[in-house]
Each structure stands twice: as C-alpha cells, then as structure tokens.
Structure 1
Amino acid sequence: MGRAISREAFDETDLATSARRLREDLTELARVLVAPGFGQVPPTVGAELEFFLSSRAGRPVFRADAVRTAVADRRLAPEVSQCDLELNLTPLPLAGAPFSAMSHEIDEMLDRVAREPAALGARAVPIGSLPSLTPDDLGPSALTALPRFLALERSMADRRPTPFTVALPGPEGRSLRCESIAVQGAACSWQVHLTVPPDALVRTYDAAQLATGPVLSACGNSSLVLGRRLWHEGRVPLYERGFGDRAARRPSRVAFGGVGTSGRAYDLFAEPALSHPVLLPASSPAGASRRHPHSGLPLLDELRVHLSTVWRWNRPVYDPAGHLRIEFRALPSGPTATDMAANTAFLVGLTARLAADPGVRAELSPEHAAANFYGAARSGPDARLWWPSGRGGGPDRHPARVLVPGLLPYAAEGLDLLGVDPREAGRLLDTIGRRVITGMTGAVWQQRRLSAQERHADRTTALRRVTAEYAELSAGGAPVHTWPCPERRLTLRPTGPKHDKER
C-alpha cells in the first residue's frame, strides 16, 4: 500500500503538506477511475501470509531480521514485531487451479524458513495468535526498528496516552496496559487480494462484507491470545482496540466498515481517507516522478500510504500498475496451507456469487453484515448468523453449522463464474464442509488441547506445549479437521438454506 516510509518523525508542516496532497490524489483518482480501459484485467488472486517465529519448545523467537537475512527472499517482508514475518505470495490468474499453486508456494516458503536458518532456532508457525506469547513479550523492545513502525509508534502516541489500555473480551477476558504498538505482533492474518474492475467494485465490496461473516465462522484460529481463552477470533478485538485512535467524533481507524450504497467506486476510497487525520506522510523525495514507470498512471502515494493506516477488515486498493483490488483482511493465518487455500476458495467464491446476486444483497443490510462478522469472531461455528431464509419476509438467524454447508454449492457457482477448475473448487470446498461437520476449527482445537494439557501442567507450560504441538501438526500439512484432539465429536451434516439460481 504505497511507497516505503523513510522517516521516523514528522512536524506540523509535513502533516499539512500531506493533507493537501491527499486531497489532490483523490481528485486525480476520480479521473483515473473513469478513464477508458482502466482496470480491465483478467481476475487474479494474491495473498499476504503473516506468521510467527517459534522455537521447538513452543516459545516465541524474536529474530525476524536475522531470519529474513538468512532466507534472502524478496517475498519475505518485516512486520510490526520481531517475532512476526509476512510472506507476499505471487499473484495468480483465477482461471484454472490458483489455490493449489498458492498452497504449494506457502509450503515451499515456510519450509525454507524452518530449514535455512536452522541455527537461529526458529520455525514458521501460521496461526492467528501464538498461544505462548505473553504481554511482557510485546513491549517497545519487540518493535521492528524500521521507519514505518517507529513513525507509527510516535504518531499513535500523539493521539492517545501511553501506556494505553486494550480490553480483550472472552471467557477469560482481560484488560492489558500496553506501551507499544508492538502488541499488534500478537495478531497474524491471511490477507487475500482479488482484482475487480472499477464498474464492479462497489457491488463486489458489498458482497465481500456479506461473505466475511459466514466464512470467518468456519475458520477461526485465534482463540488463545496472550495467555487467555478469548473469542474464537480474539485477534479481531485485539487489532481493533490496539490500533484504534479513540477519537470521540470520528469512526475508529480499525473497523468493519459499511456497505458502498452510493454506487460510486470513488466513495469507497474517499470516505476512509477523509475520515481520519494523516499518520504517515508519504514523504516522496523531491523531484521524484509521480507516475508509474510502465503504466504511466499516477502513483497516488499520499492516498495509498494514508489508506494503509485505516485498517478496515475489507478495503479497496488502487494499484498504479493498472487495476483495483479488494483486500480481504479478516481471515486468520493458518492452520495449514490447505486450510488457507480452502478458506480463500470459499471467501472468493461466495463473494463472486453474491456480487452477481442483487436479491441476496438487497435483503441483508450493513448492520446484518457487521453483526455476522462480530458474531462469527466471537463464537465461530456456534454463531447465529443473519441470512435470507428463501421464504421472503426478510432474513432469519441461522446457526453457522447449518448455514455454511448450504452456502458451499453457492460458493462453487461463484468460483465457476471466475473460471476456477471445478475439481479444484470441489476439493477445497469439501475441506470446509468436513471442518464444519467435525466442528474442528483451529480455534476449537487450541481450546481443547489447552484443557487437556492443563490437567498435567500449569498454564504457562500448557500454552508452550500447545504451541509446539500445533507447530508440528501445521508443518505436517494435513487440514485441521483431521488433527488428533481430545473430545472430538461429529455432528450430522446439516441442511442449509436454499438459494434460487434464478434470483
């Protein structure tokens, strides 16, 4: 999202200049969005995988810079904390079998992280929150010492007192006093990018908002956060409350967001851009070109950097290479490459089918979409989600265990619209179905394994053992619904709400 930040501190003149350039970039964006031919590219999918570094004993390892140096691959990028890294996957055409290729690239890269810097004692663990992390692990000393993160630390400190309090809800909810944005190092996501033509951006964004809740209910993987049992996706409140700037008269910088009811792609960029003050000026070098070297399109650096500091769970992305994307930010990292490929297929397929179905979109409001998102984050497969009943008269609430299997054929239709090989789609959506039948998401597995370990050990030891066991199973590659776990239970395959193809 924009040019790298090269400075750690900005004065009022910098911020005023940035605000002016931001308005200029929005004016330029409005022209680009209606330019003939802009954004007319074949649909592609890409992703960013955030993951943790852990020792064989299940302890976090704070050597991200050393691991990046040892692996020496441009696809690895730094993250906010020294116990996290990000893998930027190769974008792929959706036609064919993109999710299998995505899964293979993940396995290859995570294996390199584990193998090449073996002397560092670190291995890659894709999980929403590393169970063995503690609040003391994520103070200022854990912050990655790069200008972007140091500048964010300064800018956030100017907008709220330090230390600041982060309230984490859940069965063992707690309030944390935090001294650094490094606390966000406790949250790792699987962020999916889907290219979308400008004339389809609003309806696809609306569809993404509606799809996120049901998909998230089936793929929670962040239930043990900083030593406590929290929501199935405890990463969600941690991120929202850790990066929110708490300004009383404006929306939070981290939020689910609304639905693009105006019908204008421009407004999906302008609303978040104008709702928040600038945290990080783009600080482009004097005399630098403001055009992309190949497409000739404006870089819009100020806009892109600014929107990278407004953390909506789904957000539009302008790429000066010549297209628009929707970035889906709500899914957790892990448990395995197969699980993430399946989650992506379900999310992209359901979004594509909803984008082509104005009937379903008309029946579900922004409030329904937000309620589904937070309900899924809180309760996972046990959430009750709003969805059209198929009988008319408005939506009903359905148990996620019932709703999700009924949506899988619908998502398959969406993948077919995008040209995905039916065998690829069927295999991955079957993984989601089996996960729902067994009730075994990564979040459920973590909770049950912790209970089993605590029969024989204290909480700290139990959390490290759960982390080590998870890392071994994740590296094995088998999807999470097949992992050994105490108190496994099978449920009958439910029948979900039907969808009329003619709708």
Structure 2
Amino acid sequence: MGLEIDKSSFTPQEFSGFYQRLGSNLQALKALLQRPGFGEGPGSLGAELELCIVDRNGHPLLVNSAIQDARADPQLTLELNRYNLEYNLTPVPIQGTPFSRIEAEIRAAVAALEQSALVHGGHILAIGILPTLRRRDFGPHVMTDQCRYQALTDGLSRIRGERIQVRINGDEPISLRARDVTLEGANTSLQLHYRVRPADFADTYNAMQLVTPVVLALAGNSPFLLGHRLWHETRIPLFKHAIDGAGSNGPGGNGHSSRRASRVNLGTGWVREGAYELFAESALLHDALLPVCQEGEDDMEMVQNGGLPKLHELRLHQGTIWPWNRVIYDDSCGGHLRIEMRALPAGPTACDMMANAAFLIGLAEGLRGDIAELMPALPFAMLEHNFYRSAEVGIKAQLLWPSSCNRRLEEVPLARLAHELLPVAAQGLKRIGIGAAESGHYLGIIEQRLERSCTGATWQLGQVGRLNRRLSRHRALKTMLEGYRVRADLNQPVAEWTDMH
C-alpha cells in the first residue's frame, strides 16, 4: 500500500492511460481468480504497526527520517507526518502461536526504535491518537517529504475542494478546518493482514465485518484530540473527515453524497460472491489520485500464460481508498488474497494489541459458518450503526445483534455480547490451528477487560479526569501520557493498570 512514486502532478493523458490500465488489471484479476488452485495455501498473519515519536514533554518530535536512516531496517517505513513511523511485522503461519510471535517482534522492534529515539531526546509510543497534539502540530511543515503525500493532498483537494472541515461530537465537540491531509496523520493503528483462500473469502470477509464493531469497542485507545474529550476511538471519525470531509456520509455527516463515494467507509454492503466485487468497486467508484502506470507488462497475457501479474495500477489505486476492512491482492508466495483489518488502534501494549487480533480473527472464524443466516438478520446499515456506536461509546455501547435463539434483531449491551462470544472466538481459533495455551492467554486478556470494564480509552479518560481536579487540561494530559508510557513499556495488559502505582 505504501508504494512510492516520483512525481506529484499529472496530465489528463496520464489519467486516461491509468484508467485504461485499471480496466485491464480488473479483467486480468477476474481471470486469475477463476484459475484452479489460485490463492490456495496455508493461512498467515502479518501486521503493520504505526508509532508516534515524542519528546520528553510528550509533544511530537519530527525525526522520523533521522531514525529511519539510523536504523537502516527494511521493515521500517516513514508515515505521513514526520513524528510517525510504521513497522512492518514479519508474516507468520496462522497455526500454532502467531500472536505470541508477533508480540515478541513488536517488543523487540519498539525497543530498538526507542534506542534511536533517545539519541534525539525522544521516546516511541503506540497510542491511537497522541493526546498532547496541538494545532501547530499539523500543516505542510510536519508532512514527511515524499512525493506520495504531496500527490495525495493535491488529489484529494482536486476531488473534494481545497479546504476540509472536521467536526466531531462528544463530551467536548470539536470543529477544525484544514487544507492538507496531516490531520489524518494524527491516527495510528495496528493493521492486520490475514491470508484467506479465495473460496472462503466472501464468508470470511463478511464475518470480519460483522464482528469488527464488537472488537473495536473493547480496543478503544483514542479518546482525546487537541485536548478535547471526544469518542473512545476518535480515530474513526477523524480519519473519515480528514479524507472525505465532514459533509460525507458517516459520523457527523449529513447523509450519503449522491456525487461522490466515500473513500473511508465500512463498505457499501455485504459481499455477495467474492473478492472481485470489492476490487471492482474500488476501481469504478473512485477517481484516481495517483495515476502512475507501470509499463511493459500485459496483465491478461501473463495470466493466460500461467503467470502472476503485478496489477500495479490496481494495487496503487487500492492504496488511496481506505475501507476499515480492505481486500489485498499480492503476487508473492504463489499469489494470494488477504483481508487487511484497519479499524484497530495502536497500543496500549503489544499483548493488548495481539489480544485484539486474536479476538477479531477468532470471532470471524467462529461465526463464518453461520454468516449466511446472520446477514439477513442484520441489514448493512445497522452494521454501520454498530461500528460508529462502538467507536463513540466503547465498552459501554449497546449494539444491534441477531438473537442466538431465533435470529431476531435485539439491542444488547456490548459487554454482555462480547462475554457470550468468547467461547465462539475460542472455537474459531481452534478451528484454524491456534494452540490452546495461545488462545486462552489472549482471550483471557479480553475477558479481564470485560470484568474490569477497562480499555485504553477508559484508562486515559479516568486518569485525566482525576488529574484535572488539580491540574490544567494540558498538564493533566502530559502527566497521563507519561504514566501511559511507563506502563506500556512493562507490557502488562491495560486492564491491570488500575492496580499499578
């Protein structure tokens, strides 16, 4: 998704050529997906972790390029804002202990990056939105110097207008205006990549969509923006408004736009047949932002000759559309499909992030066999309601869910629903070959959150509420963040932080 480009302005002829290539990519993909055996193979799990760099006062430190140069690590990439980095974790087989393996790599990677940050008087943090951000921490001066990001800013301005408005409700509503995409850079997430067989794609993807709101409510870790108390997972509306503008459909918007499809959404409906329709939607519903063609490859001829095309234009285009669960085509490892799960925040700890991953994948696999019965009971618009409600309210949310006894829709407390679904997640993990000890450990972290009604968001809100009685909001946020950093370094689940002094 982070394919680099070498220019930021384009001619009408380049756009026309790109759309032609996009069409040929789609036809080649359709043929490839019909090839017997394509995409078969063992499941795997990968992840991308976005991180913040802060100074000793908890404010952004603009040294991502210096840290990248010092590390010379091919798995480390630059993010949109100069105070963010992304670490690409090594994909691992899904069977056995995938979550433990990724957790260990996260801890090692963050520890190494911390050593490089210390040279600049800084620290590395995994947190959904840095609560100490100020208005001066956004704008062209904080954007990483890469053509891709300038081209995205120019392309989005061309489509939606130069100025965007961000409006987010909550305890302390906020309204902002911006001309560039650096507000989006406030968001940091853990993006999971799950390899699935093409034959299983529709059911697995739909099940992943169904359970995303359940896990999101328990994973919230972004309750503050510019000092305002907003949603438990403020990343969700902020990302949407920073890309689409506040007038688009979704949280704080004013209904569906008849002119322009949203580039940040949960989807347009349940998937009916398979992955192809999601690629086709991306290509046909959205204007190109980065019309860069790769010459010299005839996609259809390559497929007909038994090869695996790069589908460069389609993959580049996909990287400019940000559904919360995104389909990925990859020509490596014999060619395969993945579901990229983008809704979960970074942090608070490596073990918490892997617990979220285990619960999400376990639930999707546990409900995959029932998804055909569950979809008619939950219209897609109601699934969207669940998603935004979970992001806004977190662990105290009430969700719409098909009853276990008769499949009729009912409103249930998220905490009760999640507790009832824990055995389903355990069965799902067992079905895909996850070890019992691995499953029990990570689902135990989720169960502990439910018992103590504690998430990263509730911990942050509670700490700031307590500190605000004697400190200014700015000082309270800074003090809370220092406590967060110390606790996160210990890698103890956030539900245990209330016991730590």
Letter in 1 for 2:282: P
1:346 to 354, 359, 367: 359
Equivalent pairs: percent with the same residue? 39
Structure 1 residue 161: Cα displacement: 3.2
Of the three residues 415, 431, 450, the one matched with 2:429 is 415
Residues 266-298 of structure 1, C-alpha deviations (whole Å, 9 max, x = no match): 1121112211110112332x4478679xx9301
Q: Is the 8 A contact 2:198 2:274 kept in 1?
A: no
Equivalence for 1:208: 208
2:165 is matched with which residue? Answer: 165
- Matching of residue 146 in structure 1 with residue 156 in structure 2: no
For normalisation by structure 1, the TM-score amounts to 0.93
Aligned to 2:240: 240
Structure-1 separation of matches of 2:399 and 2:321: 27
Q: Distance in 2 between matches of 1:101 and 1:289?
A: 39
Higher mean alpha-carbon deviation, 245-254 vs 302-311, is at: 245-254
* Aligned 8 A contact 2:209 2:325 in 1: yes
Q: Please tell me whether residue 379 in structure 1 is matched to residue 393 in structure 2.
A: yes
Structure 1 residue 79, shift from structure 2 partner: 0.7
Aligned to 1:269: 279
**1:100-139 correspondence runs (5 A):** 100-139=100-139
Q: Distance in 1 between the 2:180 and 2:216 partners?
A: 28
Instruction: Say yes or no: does 1:249 pair with 2:259.
Output: yes
Q: Which amino acid aligns with 2:470?
A: H
- Counting only pairs closer than 5 Å after superposition, residues 433-444 of structure 1 correspond to structure 2 as 433-444=447-458
User: Which of the residues 268, 282, 287 maps onto 1:258?
Assistant: 268
**Cα deviation digits, residues 183-240 of structure 1 (max 9, x gap):** 1111111111111111111111111110101111111001012221100011100000
User: Which letter does structure 1 place at the counterpart of 2:322?
Assistant: W
Q: How far did residue 468 of structure 1 move?
A: 1.8
Q: In structure 1, what residue type is equivalent to 2:406?
A: G
Superposition pairs of residues 70-469 of structure 1, within 5 angstroms:
70-244=70-244, 248-284=258-294, 286-287=295-296, 296-321=307-332, 322-357=335-370, 358-392=372-406, 394-469=408-483
For each residue in 1:416-450, what CA deviation from the matched residue of structure 2 results, as whole angstroms up to 9, or x when unmatched? Answer: 11100011001100100101111110000111111
The SS at the match of 1:182 is coil
Q: CA deviation at 1:173?
A: 1.1
RMSD: 1.9
Q: For residue 115 of structure 1, report the CA deviation from its aligned partner.
A: 1.2
Any conservation in 1 of the 2:160–2:244 contact (CA below 8 Å)?
no
How many Å separate the matches in 1 of 2:39 and 2:176? Answer: 44
Deviation at 1:160, TM superposition (A): 3.0
Rounded to whole Å, the distance in 1 between the matches of 2:298 and 2:434 is: 39
Displacement of 1:248 in angstroms is 4.5
TM-superposed deviation, 1:470: 1.1
Alignment-mate amino acid for residue 252 of structure 1: S
Tell me the SS of whatever aligns to 1:61: coil
Q: Which amino acid aligns with 1:110?
A: V
Q: Which residue is equivalent to 1:494?
A: none
Displacement of 1:399 after TM fit?
0.4
Q: Aligned partners of 1:37 and 1:264: how far apart in 2?
A: 15
Moved >6 Å (runs of 4+) = 288-292
1:37 maps to amino acid: G
1:177 counterpart SS class: strand
Q: State the AA in 2 paired with 1:305.
A: L
Aligned partners of 1:5 and 1:283 also within 8 Å: no
Distance 2:46 2:72 in 1: 21
Per-residue deviation at 1:2? 6.9
State the Cα distance separating 1:255 from its structure 2 match: 0.8
Greater shift, 337-346 or 6-15, is seen at 6-15
Tell me how far apart the structure 2 counterparts of residues 425 and 229 of structure 1 sit (CA, whole Å).
34
Distance 2:477 2:178 in 1: 21
C-alpha distance in structure 2 between counterparts of 1:389 and 1:108, whole Å: 43
SS at match of 1:90: strand
Q: CA deviation at 1:356?
A: 1.8
Partners of 1:405 and 1:48 in 2: CA distance: 28
Q: Structure 2 CA distance, aligned partners of 1:244 and 1:163?
A: 11
The Cα offsets for residues 47-78 of structure 1, whole Å up to 9 and x where unpaired, read as 11111111232111111111111222111111
1:484 is matched by which residue type in structure 2?
A: T
Q: If the length of structure 2 is used for normalisation, what is the TM-score?
A: 0.93
For residues 441-464 of structure 1, give each alpha carbon's deviation from its aligned partner in whole angstroms, at most 9, with x where no partner exists.
000011111112212221222222
- Contact kept? 1:382, 1:400, Cα under 8 Å: yes
CA displacement at 1:169 relative to structure 2: 1.8
- Following the alignment from structure 2 to structure 1, what is the Cα–Cα distance between the partners of residues 2 and 117? 30
Query: Does the Cα contact within 8 Å between 1:127 and 1:188 map onto a contact in 2?
Result: yes
Which residue matches 2:68? 68
Structure 2's unaligned 5+ residue stretches are: 249-256
Tell me how far apart the structure 2 counterparts of residues 31 and 4 of structure 1 sit (CA, whole Å).
28
Q: Secondary structure at the match of 1:241?
A: helix
Q: Where in structure 1 are there 5+ consecutive unaligned residues?
A: 489-503
Structure 1 residues 225-234 or 450-459, which shifts more?
450-459
TM-aligned CA deviation for residue 393 of structure 1: 5.3
After TM superposition, the structure 1 stretch with the greater mean CA deviation from structure 2, 210-219 or 455-464, is 455-464
State the AA in 1 paired with 2:27. T
Contact in 1 for aligned 2:270/2:380 (Cα 8 Å): no
Residue 331 of structure 1 aligns to which amino acid in structure 2?
L
Report if the CA contact (8 A) 2:215-2:356 is conserved.
yes
